[in-house]
Chain A
Amino acid sequence: DAGITQSPRHKVTETGTPVTLRCHQTENHRYMYWYRQDPGHGLRLIHYSYGVKDTDKGEVSDGYSVSRSKTEDFLLTLESATSSQTSVYFCAISEPERTSGGYTDTQYFGPGTRLTVL
Chain B
Amino acid sequence: RKEVEQDPGPFNVPEGATVAFNCTYSNSASQSFFWYRQDCRKEPKLLMSVYSSGNEDGRFTAQLNRASQYISLLIRDSKLSDSATYLCVVNGPGGSYIPTFGRGTSLIVHP
Given contacts A42-B103, A111-B43, contact A50 B97 (CB under 8 A): yes
**Among A11-19, A68-76, A79-87, A96-104, the stretch in contact with B:** A96-104
Q: Is there a chain A Cβ closer than 8 Å to B61's Cβ? A: no
Cα-based distance from A31 to B101 in the complex (angstroms): 17
Count of chain B residues with a beta carbon within 8 Å of a chain A beta carbon: 22
Contacts of B89 in A (CB 8 A): 107
Contacts of A108 in B (CB 8 A): 46
Q: Is there a chain B Cβ closer than 8 Å to A34's Cβ? A: no
Contact A104 B49 (CB under 8 A): yes
Q: Is the interface of B mostly helix, strand, loop or mixed?
A: loop
Contact A31 B97 (CB under 8 A): yes
| Choice from B46, B51, B98 contacting A45 with Cβ under 8 Å | B98
Count of chain A residues with a beta carbon within 8 Å of a chain B beta carbon: 24
Q: Mark B50-71, 1 if CB is under 8 A from A, else 0.
A: 0110000000000000000000
Contacts of A96 in B (CB 8 A): 97
Q: Is there a chain B Cβ closer than 8 Å to A94's Cβ? A: yes
Contacts of A103 in B (CB 8 A): 31-32, 94
Which of B42, B49, B99, B104 has the most chain A CB atoms closer than 10 A to its own CB?
B99
Please give the distance in Å from A108's CB to the nearest CB on chain B: 7
Contacts of A104 in B (CB 8 A): 32, 49, 91
Cα-based distance from A106 to B44 in the complex (angstroms): 12
Cα-based distance from A108 to B49 in the complex (angstroms): 13
| Choice from B91, B97, B101 contacting A42 with Cβ under 8 Å | B101
Please give the distance in Å from B82's CB to the nearest CB on chain A: 20
Interface residues of B (CB under 8 A from A): 31-32, 34, 42-46, 49, 51-52, 87, 89, 91, 94, 97-99, 101-104
**Knowing that A40-B103, A42-B103 are A-B contacts, what are 5 other residue pairs whose CB atoms are under 8 Å apart, sorted by A's residue number?**
A31-B97, A50-B97, A102-B32, A103-B32, A105-B97
Interface residues of A (CB under 8 A from B): 31, 40-43, 45, 48, 50, 58, 90, 94, 96, 101-112
